[in-house]
Amino acid sequence: MAEYQRISRALLGEGVSSGKMFGKDALKFESKAIACLLQDTMAFKVGRDSAAMAKAMKHPGAELFDPSGQGRPFKDWVAVPESSIERWEELANAALSAAIDPEDEAEKP
């Protein structure tokens, strides 16, 4: 997907690399996944109590990321559908910020 590729190019370097998560394209910071592309959805590790999570969950179709589909979501991750693609870059940056400084991610909404 073109938007994922654009975001990936913008973030690569400074500890960010491309890789795989569940066999799908992912962005990693210091070898830990911070974002993952799954068909028409992108998931971001922004932190469960972060302002970014609260804001992201307001977008239509956004939900906690549940890669198993079995009702066991990753509580620090939000999955945002392509219908909110204009928010993906902002969320990718929020995920990177949360990975760089986990204390900042704890800002309450």
Q: Using 50, 70 and 90 to split pLDDT, how confident is the model at 15? A: confident
Q: Using 50, 70 and 90 to split pLDDT, how confident is the model at 104? A: low
Distance CA 78, CA 10 (A): 21
> With pLDDT > 70 as the criterion, what percentage of the chain qualifies?
94
pLDDT digits (tens, 9 = 90+) for 71-82: 999 999 999 999
Does pLDDT of 90 surpass 90? Answer: yes
CA 89 to chain centre: 9
> Topology of domain 2-97, per CATH?
Aspartate Aminotransferase, domain 1 (3.90.1150)
Domain spans in the chain, listed from the N-terminal domain onward: 2-97
41-45 β-sheet, strand order: 16-21, 24-29, 32-38, 41-45, 74-81, 63-65
